[in-house]
């Protein structure tokens, strides 16, 4: 729902209310793109009292008499938001998944997929370092598994082909990059837009993972869309998803669930469960089901968060 008080206000020469999108947040400043111009603004003090934190990607209302001295007034309703990375109104997420160094993990990939599904963000699986894989059948196995579910999987034989395929998905969409550290997110974006010169890091031999190299989130105009380069991280904790919501984040489970005996089947101990039947028949990947059971146990064992009373 839009805020009607601002919907009737047009841009006025020399000042007035404007609408725009936060493209970068850095050192207390919010850089807002509006009608082809970038404005540096600060948030009004009442944002803290209202417990509102503006995020990159937010549609906002602000006022400014020049491009370096403005004030952010209102954050318009979001369709979604991510905590890591801190981005709002995301359309699609590219999960950069390494096949080697670090080694491919069905478990980690499924964690990212569940997170995106829960936020209603369309996932795109990008398999990196495929040229280093000696057994090409392992690549085909991953591609087949996830394409059969309905996910977009990019695993071209050359970097140029993969990048061309990826860029066709960018126009008019806000895209985030995510995946394990060292999987090659910044390297990939450097290939797409060489002038970015984003910092990359080698894999740490002692930890087996890359260092965090991206310091802040910024929306970059690429291929007629917006792309956020975001910090990589090697694990995801399901802090928001409740146990009853988890089965709905697996599209193949949703498709099969209508034939389960119980309407709210959790697909673990219930009799006449269609999901378990399809796993046994090989129609649902065993890796997906095993990961689901593990995620469910993690959620059920999660300690409740108690907020301190003020």
**Nearby residues of 129 by Cβ (< 8 Å), 6 or more positions away:** 98, 99, 100, 101, 183, 184
State the DSSP string of 37-71.
Answer: EEEEEEE-THHHHTT----BT-EEEEEESSTTSEE
Q: How far apart are the first and last CA of the chain?
A: 31
Determine the Cα–Cα distance for residues 172 and 170; give it in Å rounded to an integer. Answer: 6
Binding annotation: 128-131, 179-187, 260, 265, 267, 273
Q: Of 287, 273, 260, 303, nearest to 113 (Cα)?
A: 287
State the DSSP string of 70-132.
Answer: EEEEEEPPPS-EETTTTEES--EEEEEEESTTTTP-HHHHHHHHHHHHHTT-EEEEEEE-GGG
Binding annotation for GTP: 128-131, 179-187
Q: Which residue has the tokens 């919907």?
A: 7
Binding annotation for Zn(2+): 260, 265, 267, 273
Q: What is the DSSP letter of 21?
A: E
Q: Could you tell me if 152 and 169 are in contact, meaning their C-beta atoms sit under 8 angstroms apart?
A: yes
Q: Tell me the helices (H) and strands (E) count for the chain, helix number first.
A: 9, 13
């Amino acid at each position: 729902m839009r805020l009607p008080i601002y919907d009737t206000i047009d841009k006025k020469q020399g000042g007035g209310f404007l609408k725009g999108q936060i493209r970068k947040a850095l050192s207390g400043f919010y850089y807002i793109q509006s009608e082809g111009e970038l404005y540096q603004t600060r948030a009004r003090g009442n944002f803290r009292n209202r417990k509102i934190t503006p995020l990159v990607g937010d549609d906002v209302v602000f006022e400014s008499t020049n491009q370096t001295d403005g004030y952010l007034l209102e954050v318009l309703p979001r369709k979604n938001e991510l905590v890591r990375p801190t981005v709002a109104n995301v359309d699609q997420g590219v999960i950069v998944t390494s096949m080697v160094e670090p080694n491919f993990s069905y478990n980690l990939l499924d964690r990212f997929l569940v997170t995106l599904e829960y936020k209603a963000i369309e996932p795109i699986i990008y398999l990196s370092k495929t040229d280093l894989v000696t057994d090409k059948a392992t690549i085909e196995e991953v591609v087949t598994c996830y394409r059969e579910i309905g996910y977009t999987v990019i695993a071209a034989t050359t970097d140029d082909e993969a990048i061309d395929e990826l860029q066709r998905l960018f126009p008019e969409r806000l895209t985030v990059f995510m995946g394990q550290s060292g999987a090659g997110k910044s390297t990939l974006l450097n290939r797409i837009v060489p002038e970015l010169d984003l910092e990359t890091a080698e894999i740490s031999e002692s930890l087996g993972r890359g260092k965090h190299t991206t310091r802040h989130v910024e929306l970059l105009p690429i291929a007629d869309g917006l792309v956020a380069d975001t910090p990589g991280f090697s694990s995801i904790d399901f802090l928001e998803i409740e146990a009853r919501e988890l089965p709905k984040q697996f599209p193949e489970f949703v498709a099969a669930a209508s034939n389960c005996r119980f309407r709210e089947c959790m697909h673990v101990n219930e009799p006449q469960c269609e999901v378990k039947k399809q796993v046994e028949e090989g129609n649902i990947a065993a890796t997906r089901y095993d990961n689901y059971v593990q995620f469910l146990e993690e959620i059920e064992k999660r300690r409740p968060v108690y907020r301190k009373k003020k």
